[in-house]
Amino acid sequence: MTRRRLVTALLVLAVLALVALPLAFRGDAGYAGTDGQASAAIEESGYTPWFESVFAPSSKEVESGLFALQAAVGGGVLGYVLGRLRGRRRAAPPERQPTDET
């Protein structure tokens, strides 16, 4: 095994360990999002909202799916715009270079 393949294999194992170990040792962590904690603190203070939401997802899975869809669409738009700008720059004719014949 060459040194390059060994380094690659070790890096892949390290990434897998970084992903798997927190999942394996998580136990009963009791994770709660900051949005939930903030809304609970606001409700405890006696605040009443001005209006109701227009759309409320039926579950947290739907909510996270919609958030992921929003992130994917935003990333796609950003990638398209950056690609379009780069393509425009490449397609532009080169500016005339001054010659030494004067």
| pLDDT of 30 above 70 | no
In a domain, residue 64? The reply is: yes
* 69 pLDDT above the threshold of 90: yes
Look-up of token digits 């950003």: 78
Mean pLDDT of the chain: 85
User: Is residue 69 one of the residues assigned to a domain?
Assistant: yes
For the residues 50-59, what does the mean pLDDT come to?
A: 83
The whole domain housing 79 covers: 58-91
**How confident is the model over 56-60, as a mean pLDDT?**
82
Contact of 6 with 12, CB cutoff 8 Å: no
66, part of any domain: yes
| pTM of the predicted model as reported, rounded to 2 decimal places | 0.44
Q: Is residue 10 part of a domain?
A: no
Q: Does residue 47 sit within a domain?
A: no
Residue 76: per-residue pLDDT: 97
Number of domains in the chain: 1
In a domain, 78, yes or no: yes
